[in-house]
Chains A and B, each alone.
Chain A
Amino acid sequence: MTAIETSMAPRPPRHRVNPRALRWWTVQAALTSAAALLPQLVALELSDARWLVVTTSVTACLAAAYVLIMPSWRYRVHRWEADEHAVYTLAGWLHLEWRVVPISRIQTIDIERTLLQRLFGLATVTVTTASAAGPVRIVGLDAQEADRLVRRLTAITQADRGDAT
């Protein structure tokens, strides 16, 4: 980033997600890592091929790094904001993705709560448009705040009825 001193970049959205998302992401990462590690550990029990030792230890190192680093990194990145003009999110950790949708193009607003999210009192707000390219998601919101956000967004979008295509 040398030649862009005078140039513009998107301002990150205003709000961080709920800090409980840290723990949620950690548990998720731990589950994913376990799913990758367990079969290899079982295989290691049954045979003691050298390459198996190598792959298992490499997986273990990567998994440890993933569980330790990813959640806090994600928490630093993930942000969102919504006002009467647009819904705007920033997500990712290694790979960043900014998404912005004008309010007038919103078709549906849903709340989604997986079992794991419910354990931490979290929710995901999904904002869909007429595109086949996939919705805008705000993950890791406090469940009650998510409800309030959906109510507000619904009120705003109802005031702004169009074809949205």
Chain B
Amino acid sequence: MNEPAWRRLDVRMLAVFSLSEVGAVVVVLFIMLIGSRGDGAWQLIGAVLAPSALVTHGLLRWLTVRYRVGVERIELRSGLLNRQVRSVPRDRVRTVDLTSSPLHRLFGLSVVEIGTGSSTAKDGRLHLNAVATKEGERLRRELLDRSPIAWAKPTALSALPTSVPGTLPGSGPVRESHLVATLRLSWLRFAPLTTAGLVALSAVFGTGFKLADDVGVRLGDLDAVHRVGDRLGAAPLWLAVVALTLGVLVVVALGSMAVYLEGWWGYRLTREPDGTLRLRRGLLTTRSLSIEQRRMRGAEVAESLLLRLFGGARCAAVSTGLDAKATSHGALLPPAPLAEAHRVAAQVLLLGDPADATGAALDQHPPAALRRRLIRTLLPTVIVVASAWWLATTVPQLAPAWPAALLALPLAALLGLDRYRNLGHALRPEYLVIGQGSLIRRRVALQRRGIIGWRLRQSVVQRLAGLVTVDVVTAASAGRYSVVDLSMDAAVHLVNEVNPGLLPTRHPTNLSADLTNDQEGRFAEPTLS
């Protein structure tokens, strides 16, 4: 076989690598200059040594890392002393992701991450940091192209709605690819309802404080901080609290919008002619994620309580070979209106109607499930309230405050009710739809062909209530999805509807007959031919 030549990373990675590590070098130099006293020679050596070590490191990487894409396998060689050769069969490649930080973009480079089906994230991924963006695109096309593919049949495509409201930004080669969704600026209103902004802000503040501390600035000593503090101290307490809260809320809201824009600017979800779903997004750091259509096993629409209150939702892919961390848990859409999330979920599953997937009307579970939801939310709350009461009786100062704890009871009841209301499942022609949860309400549509096994679980409490939990086993994402608290009848029915005859059944009245018919004591011959 005529194997292609080994390729190197793009030579421009030397510049990117050096520049991206410059921060560390500056810190090292800083410490050396401050820390060592007198002896100028050492400082000079340090000043020369640290940058040259960095450049050498980059140079070594460029010299040692090589890759090649053969007919059968992709191979990656690396290491100078610890030689490493990693080889991945081409047909195992599930995802090819391109990421470019602002620095990479400046030099026209991309980091390529090639993912395989392996669930052990590190072994299953080949990492190329970095190649020319054009080369990255070529790799993506070449590695994911597996025509002919069943889904690309013209009939399947023409049956789908082909236009998406809104305009196509940019003038990329979208002639053959089908646009599923793009960003609308009005969705920005959902940004403050997510925790992303809060997380990012606390990170920024944390680093800021630490940096200020390292440089020797005490924020408490700053004049401006003092003035604000005095102003707040002079005002009545409630006003200070309100002002502070408002201030924090505004900063968090603005911060989360900034995070939303950075992450999702230029968002485009397209279906490519090579049978992949392609997601592009990012303002400063651009990301391109490709998922093979035939690896899609379903989709999930999730609403956190805050998002739900304002009619927002997220949409994620349920797919094999997705590394949850690298793909932000398979997110296909930024937080967006619920209807949009259902529409995108249906579109990526090649369905015209959301009611065939996550948008389906669900069958409710039996009343015993409601009792169980209520007990499970109320019982812990009652215990907490009781201990609050006990605390109030022993510590008299707390006595006036404890009735506030009673408020938790109706809230817990509401939570239980809402959990029950959202609980349910539906069988659609191609998908099994499962609904559950309250604080995060989830709807997941699982491809019926993608179900690779079933489990029925029954605790003692469930047995008494005549309920059972069905675990749907898949090769994708979480591995299993639970249909909680069905009647045994519905559970058996569900399994046998999807996989006819898979689960043998009997009427419960024949239980004793079944047991006595068994060849007890003797090891039974398996009924295999």
Contacts and interface: CB of A to CB of B under 8 A. Distances in A.
Given A1-B466, A4-B508, A96-B463, A129 B452 contact: yes
B457 A7 contact: no
Contacts of A133: 455, 471, 473, 478-480
B460 A95 contact: yes
Interface in A41-59: none
Contacts of B377: none
A83 B454 CA distance: 16
Given A97-B457, A101-B453, A15 B504 contact: no
Interface residues of B, number: 50
A76 B527 CA distance: 21
B502 A84 contact: no
B523 A11 contact: no
Contacts of A15: 518-519, 523-524, 526
B369 to A, nearest CB: 13
A132 B452 contact: no
Contacts of B479: 131-134
B292 to A, nearest CB: 12
Contacts of A132: 119, 478-479
Contact of A149 (B493, B503, B515, B526): B526
Interface string A121-134: 00000000111111
B32 interface: no
A88 B495 CA distance: 13
A31 interface: no
A14 interface: yes
B149 to A, nearest CB: 14
Nearest to A94: B460
19 contacts: A4-B489, A5-B509, A8-B493, A8-B507, A9-B507, A13-B504, A15-B518, A83-B528, A97-B458, A100-B502, A101-B454, A101-B473, A102-B452, A102-B453, A129-B453, A130-B117, A132-B479, A133-B473, A133-B478
Contact of B506 (A11, A18, A136): A11
A7 B486 CA distance: 13
Contact of A19 (B453, B493, B502, B521): B521
Contact of B475 (A141, A149, A165): A165
B466 A102 contact: no
B171 interface: no
Interface of B: 117, 119, 320, 450, 452-460, 463, 466, 471, 473-475, 478-480, 487-489, 492-493, 495, 499, 501-509, 514-515, 518-521, 523-524, 526-529
Contacts of B499: 102
A77 B473 CA distance: 23
Contacts of A101: 452-454, 473
Given A96-B456, A98-B503, 10 more contacts: A8-B488, A9-B508, A10-B488, A95-B458, A96-B457, A100-B455, A129-B452, A131-B452, A134-B479, A152-B526
A82 B492 contact: no
B257 to A, nearest CB: 36
A134 B479 CA distance: 8
Q: Which 5 A-B pairs have the closest CB atoms?
A: A7-B489, A132-B479, A133-B479, A130-B475, A133-B480
A113 interface: no
Residue among A11, A82, A153 with the most chain B CB within 10 A? Answer: A11
Interface residues of A, number: 52
Nearest to A89: B455
Residue among A82, A84, A102, A165 with the most chain B CB within 10 A? Answer: A165
A164 interface: yes
Contact of A8 (B463, B505, B520): B505
Nearest to B480: A133
Residue among A15, A142, A164 with the most chain B CB within 10 A? Answer: A15
Interface in A1-37: 1-16, 18-19
Interface in A72-91: 81-86, 88
Contacts of A129: 452-453, 473, 475
A105 interface: yes
A16 to B, nearest CB: 6
A49 B438 CA distance: 46
A153 B527 CA distance: 11
A10 B475 contact: no
A99 interface: yes
Given A129-B473, A131-B452, A131-B453, A11 B463 contact: no
Given A10-B505, A95-B460, A4 B117 contact: no
Interface in A133-165: 133-134, 136, 141-142, 145, 148-149, 152-153, 156, 164-165
A81 to B, nearest CB: 7
B459 A131 contact: no
Residue among B453, B492, B508, B509 with the most chain A CB within 10 A? Answer: B453
Given A9-B505, A99-B455, A131-B473, A142 B523 contact: yes
Nearest to B506: A11
A39 to B, nearest CB: 29
A88 B471 contact: no
A97 B457 CA distance: 5
Contacts of A7: 487-489, 507-508
B502 A86 contact: yes
